[in-house]
Structure 1
C-alpha cells in the first residue's frame, strides 16, 4: 500500500482523498493509505509523518512547507499546483535532486493528447496564426491556467524547432494594438460559473481554420491521472519528471 500525504482541503484535495481511499487493486486490497491531509495550517505538514508520496493540489503559498517536507522525508512529490513564479519553479526542479518530483498543470490523459495534437498541428500548418483560450470556474485564482501555459510552451517550442523564428505570447488585447504580429501567440482567459476546464487551440490560415478543444466535465479526470502518476512515481530515482514521462514513458 502506498502511503500519501495530501496538501489541500478544497474541492480537489477532498476528491483526491475520497478517490484514494476508495481505490482497490486487482486483489481487492487498498492501493493508498492517507497518512495526513493538511490545508493552510502548514505547521501540521511540518509534523506530518513520513509517507511514500505527497500530493499537492493547493496554492503556490504552500511551496516552502512542501519543499521542507520532501527534504525531511524523501517522499515523492506529485504537484498539480499552478500559479508558481519562475523562482518557485526553480525550487521545484531543485527538489528533484533529493526525491522524485512530478509537476504538471494538468493531469488529464485527454489534455496530454491535446498537447501532442497541438505540436503536430504547428508542424503541419506553418504560417497559421495560433490563439489559445482557456475557461475555468469563477473561483480559480490564477490566469492563464497551467494547462494553457503548457500548450503555449508546446507552440513556441515547435515553431522554434521548425526554424520559423522566435514566437512570443500576448496575454489578451486591448485598445489600438495594431495588426497582429505573425509571431505572436494570443492567450486568453475566461472565468465564470462552475466550469471544470475548457482549453482550445485555434489555428487560423487563409480562408480556413482548425480548432482543437479539450473539455473537462468534472475534476475527477485530474484526480484519476494524479493518483495513477503517484503510483508510478513512487520508487523512481530522484529527478524532475513530466506527466508524459511517468504515464507513457
Structure 2
C-alpha cells in the first residue's frame, strides 16, 4: 500500500483526490497539508509539509504557485517524491523544479487527465504532417471564471507539443488587437475564454485551404484530473530522482 500526503487537501481538487484514493486499494492518504487548517478527514492535517510527522512514500500537490518553492525545498529535505499538479509557475520556479529533480523524483504535468495526454501524442503526429502542408495552427481554451492563470498550463503544453513537432520555430501569440497585418505563417495563436463553471475545454485547430481539422478535449468533471494524479502517485513512489510526466506514468513514451 502506497502512503501519500495530500498537499492542498482542503481545496476542490484535494477533496476529489481524497475521495478517489479512499476507493483505491493500492494507495492511502495518510496526511493532509493545508495552510487554512484542519478538516474532518480520517487522517491528520498539518498547516505545512515541514510539520508532517507521518511516514509516507509520495506527495500529491494541488495547491498554489506561491507555495511551490517551499514545497520543493521540504520534499528535498525529506527525500519525498512529489506529483506536482500546481500550474502558473514562474520561470524561476520552473528552474527550481528542474534543480530539485536532480535530488528527488518529480512528476510535473499541466494536465493530469489520460485523455489530454493521449491527445498530446496524437498531436505530435498531426503537426508533423499538417504544418508542413500549409495548415495554420490555433488553440482555444476555456475555463471557469475563478481560474487565475491564462492561458492555461494545458494550452501552453499543447502549443509546445505542436511547435516542437512542426520544427520548433513558431511564435506563440496571445493577442492580435494591437496590430493590423496578415497572419504570419510561423505563429500559433492561443486564446483564453473564462466563464461560468467550465471545467476545461481545449481545441487545437489546424486550418488549411478549404478544410479544417479540430482536435478537442472536454473535461466534464475534476475527477479526471484526480484519477490521473492518483495514478501518477502510484507510478512515482520509489522512483529514482529525475523529471517525469504523465506520458511516463501512462507508458505513452
- Normalising by structure 1, we get a TM-score of 0.91
1:207 Cα deviation after fit = 0.9
* Contact preservation (8 Å) 1:51, 1:73: no
CA-atom RMSD, angstroms? 1.6
Correspondence for 1:47: 51
The equivalent residue for 2:75 is 70
1:38 equivalent to 2:34? Answer: yes
What are structure 1's unaligned runs of at least 5 residues?
26-30
Equivalence map 1:6-25=2 (5 Å): 6-8=6-8, 9-25=10-26
Find the aligned partners of 2:248 and 2:36 in 1 and give their Cα distance. Answer: 31
Residue by residue, what CA displacement relative to the aligned partner does 1:105-157 show, whole Å, maximum 9, x if unpaired?
A: 00111101111121111112122100001101111110111110110101111
Q: 1:61 is matched with which residue?
A: 66
Native 8 Å contact 1:7 1:39 kept in 2: no
Residue 96 of structure 2 is aligned to residue 100 of structure 1: no
> Which sits farther off after the overlay, 37-46 or 123-132?
37-46
2:101–2:242 Cα contact (<8 Å) kept: yes
Q: What SS does the aligned partner of 1:160 have? A: coil
Unpaired segments of 5 or more residues in structure 2? 38-45
2:157 is aligned with 1:150: yes
- Aligned pairs for 1:90-239 (under 5 A) are 90-125=95-130, 126=132, 127-160=134-167, 166-239=169-242
Runs of 4+ in 1 over 3 A off after TM superposition: 39-43
Number of aligned pairs? 240
SS in 1 for 2:110: coil
